[in-house]
Structure formats: structure tokens, C-alpha cells
Structure 1
Amino acid sequence: MMDRRAATIDLLLIEDDSEDARHLSEAFSEIDLEITVRVVTDGAEALKLLSNSASDPSALPDLILLDLNLPRLSGLELLREIGDEPALARLPILVVTKSATVDDVRESYELAANAYLTKPADPAEYAELAEAIADFWLRRVALPTSAL
């Protein structure tokens, strides 16, 4: 596994709510890792960005945080599209959404989401969520993009 303290981690946040995007971006900026957070505000734009990067693995994000409630192409539709493209199917995707419905959780995992997290109700809790994601997904897990 690569030493992520020396490398910049590319995190793609697919989120249309500007407040949630700001809270998550700020929370990740406080973590003791070099993390670049790119924000995309709708599913169609995210699919275009990922599809354009598919031929160059170094251009793909290390980790994706995906909201389900997106304009133009929902998070579930985006998961389906990503799963259909072999160059993108291995990307680690964490659903981070307000929905806690059993159907959304089940369908997200059926479409190969790697985790399903519910957004905090209190903005102060975003730091705890980001730290938990960073601790497991960025410090402990070998990500496919870092193994290339």
C-alpha cells in the first residue's frame, strides 16, 4: 500500500447541496492528509467527468462520495452507469445521503456501492464523519487507484 501521507488523495464529491458540499469539503481539509476535494453538482456531469477519465487511471479519483438525490442523473442511476463501464466499476464509492430508506440502502449495495452512510443532522458532526471515512478508506484500505 502506498504512503498516503506523502501523496495527494483525489476525492470526488458528487453533491448538489452547496451546504453539505461545504461542510464535507471543510471537514476533509482539517484531516492530516493531503486531500483534494473536487465537487460535481449533478449525476450527468459526474458521469461525463468519469467517462472522460476512464482511459487514464491516474485521472480517476481515489474515492467517490455520492449523494443519491442529484439532478439530471440520480445517484442510483449513476451507480448503474459506473457499474456498466469496466474501467470505472472498480472505483470505491461511498453513498453519503440523507435517505435512510431500506430500498435505497439495498439498491445502492446491489449496484456495488462500497458503503452507505447517512449524512449528519448536525453540521458539527461532519468532521467526525470525514475523520471516520479518512481513517478507514484513506489510511487503512488499499484503494484500486493507488495499486495501479
Structure 2
Amino acid sequence: MPSDSADEQSQEPIEILLVEPNPGDSRLFTESFKDAKIVNNLHVVSDGEAALDFVNQRDDYADRPRPDLILLEPRLPGKSGMEVLAELNNEPAFSAIPIVILTSSETEEDIAKSHGLDADQYIQKPVEPDEFIDFVQSVEEFWLAIVHQSAPNN
């Protein structure tokens, strides 16, 4: 029986890189992703330099997998999320990695776009713990849309 390649792809773990400086939010993200039905490996870093090291698989992250999806908080210590986004956008080797900017408001999305930086998606960051479930579902819907778009037509 022929199988649907998009379904096969969606069953493989998604390597998600969360770039989030707030330890409390990181914990809520991690717990919410564990509770979700989406199959994933969530990796967390807390600043822009670590994010770039992770994506480039260098230094402490040399043995880590390249992420399939990046969730990026724009306000980071040191190198900002917008600087990370700009570096990733300028590197052809990373152009296939979808980047979701975690905004706290529509203003942040407008600021990013005004700097000529365009992420694949902007999702409003949850404020309350029970909103994290909706957030994870938004990420899953975005990921499934990417998988279906990139699946070859039979």
C-alpha cells in the first residue's frame, strides 16, 4: 500500500530550537511541547550567540542536530533576535529553516518588518500558562503546513 510522504515526514521528530532568555518561559515551553501530540525534540538556548552557535553546530553545540524549526524571541541579551534573524537570512545554507518570531505584540512584528527582516511566521507569545497549549497548537499547524508545502506531489 503506498504511503503518504507528508504523513511519514510528520511522524519523524522535529528538531526545534527555542531561543528564549526567560527561564520560566523556557520551562513552560518545554512542558507544553512535552504534553503536545507533536513529535519533537526541543532544544533551548538563552541568547543570540548560543543560537548562532547551535545552528552552525559549533563549539558546545558541535554534536547537536541542525534545527528544523527556530522559535526566536526578539529581545535577547547580547546579540538581539533581530541580529540573529538577519544573520540567518543572509546565510543561504540556513534559508530552508523556518523561523518563527515570538512577539509580545503586533508592534514587535512591525518593528522587525520595518528593518527589512522577515521571518516565516510571527506568533504572539503566550502570557498565561494555559495559553501555551494554544501556542503549541499554532506551532504544530505552522509546521504541518510547511511539511505539506515541501512534500513532493505524487
Bigger relative contact order, structure 1 or 2 (CA pairs below 8 A, ≥6 apart): 1
Q: Which amino acid aligns with 1:134?
A: E
Separation in 1, partners of 2:51, 2:113: 22
Secondary structure at the counterpart of residue 96 of structure 1: strand
Separation in 1, partners of 2:95, 2:104: 24
Separation in 2, partners of 1:18, 1:43: 15
Structure 1 residue 36, shift from structure 2 partner: 0.8
Structure 1 residue 6, shift from structure 2 partner: 3.1
TM-score (norm. length: structure 1): 0.82
- Percent identity (aligned): 32
Separation in 1, partners of 2:120, 2:68: 13
Contact 1:120–1:126 (Cα < 8 Å) also in 2? yes
Root-mean-square deviation (CA, aligned residues, Å) is 2.8
TM-score (norm. length: structure 2): 0.79
Separation in 2, partners of 1:37, 1:14: 10
Give the paired residue count.
Answer: 142
What residue is the counterpart of 1:47 in the other structure?
52
Return the index of the structure with the highest Cα Rg: 2
> Is 2:35 aligned against 1:18?
no
Structure 1 residue 104, shift from structure 2 partner: 2.3
**Structure 1 segments unaligned to the other structure (5+ residues):** none
Contact 1:95–1:113 (Cα < 8 Å) also in 2? yes
> Is 2:98 aligned against 1:92?
yes
> Is 2:104 aligned against 1:106?
no
Segments of 4+ in structure 1 off by > 4 A?
A: 143-147
Q: Which amino acid aligns with 2:53?
A: K
